[in-house]
Amino acid sequence: MSHAAVPPVLVIHGGSGVITHDLTPAKEKAIRAALAKALENGYAALKAGKSAVAVVSAAIVVLEDDPNFNAGKGAVFTHDGKNELDAAIMDGDTRRAGAVAGVQRIGNPILLARAVMEKTPYVMLSGRGAEAFAQSIGMPLVDPSYFRTEERWQQLQKALKEDSAGKPHADDETTKHFGTVGAVALDTDGHLAAGTSTGGINDKRWGRIGDSPIIGAGTYANSDCAVSATGWGEYYIRTVAAHAICMQVSQMRVPLKRAAAVVINQEIPALGGNGGAIALDAHGNIAIPFNTDGMYRGWIDASGVPHVAIHGDEDDGSSAPPAPAPADSTGDAGGQAQ
């Protein structure tokens, strides 16, 4: 695909599966502000000529540091009352990638994933080994208590009670499998990158790892397309969702919006899963398909104007005010294919 010069673009997400009745006005305001800050930080790096990889990292760090998102500081708890975090990043220009899984003492897993990509011959490190690598390059470890928030702790307690009563979790099909954060960017050199970070799912067991750190499932980028996914990870792994979208764009020349909608809104639901994704191509086209009642999302396209949105019925941003005001369509930003 021939890449003409295009303005830089940044798209972010803070997870799909928004449950409207649990979203208080105060929390919604805080989330919109955090999304706007992530866009601001990432876009400042874009305008400064930083690489797409650096831009993705800068945006995701903001969301990892905010306890309202299930990544970094706001990560959910495992069944055993611990926090196990995953992250991945991929440079579309070189197709180099880095990922970490099951880390418990890394405040910003996306930065460690980037270090794996840039400082080792490997793609994925896990658990204590990943943390030992972090120490070897001077990255500080945080005390596990850093990740504890009362909201996440109470979510675990509720799930544990349901476990002991033999009841299915009330939130299994709505909130349990969602909350990942991610970003995709197109830099001033026309290069793409994608990154994703997550705390996984509430009450997860046995070292479960979802799609976020798996290159091709929850995170993927090449020279034509970049994708970061959010949703029920097992289904994104089974469909190799992020890679499937980009292969349609790269090899079959399917328009980005159509490719993303087919995978996210057709293939994954057909297997029983749900969720969303953000996707970006080398021409600056954006796709934000999702099939839940909401998705925390934001973007700055060629207009240079930031937009954020949460609910499924927000408009497409064509006449929306700057962030943190709402600006998206029902599950498909920027006039996406249905």
- The catalytic site residues sit at 180
208 Cβ neighbours under 8 A, 6+ residues apart? 200, 201
107: nearest Cα among 197, 196, 230, 33: 197
Structure-block tokens of residue 94: 């070189």
Q: Where are the alpha helices (DSSP H) in 217-328?
A: 233-238, 241-251, 256-262, 268-271
What sign has the CA pseudo-torsion 202, 130, 238, 55? positive
Distance CA 246, CA 244 (A): 6
108: nearest Cα among 77, 149, 63, 144: 63
Distance CA 274, CA 239 (A): 12
Distance CA 96, CA 81 (A): 34
Instruction: Report DSSP state, residue 61.
Output: H
Q: Is 33 helix (H, G, I), strand (E, B) or coil?
A: helix
**Residues recorded for the chain:** 338
Structure-block tokens of residue 290: 């999702």
Structure-block tokens of residue 49: 């000529």
Contact 97, 242 (CB under 8 A): no
Distance CA 230, CA 238 (A): 14
Side-chain-facing half-sphere of 112: CA atoms under 13 Å: 35
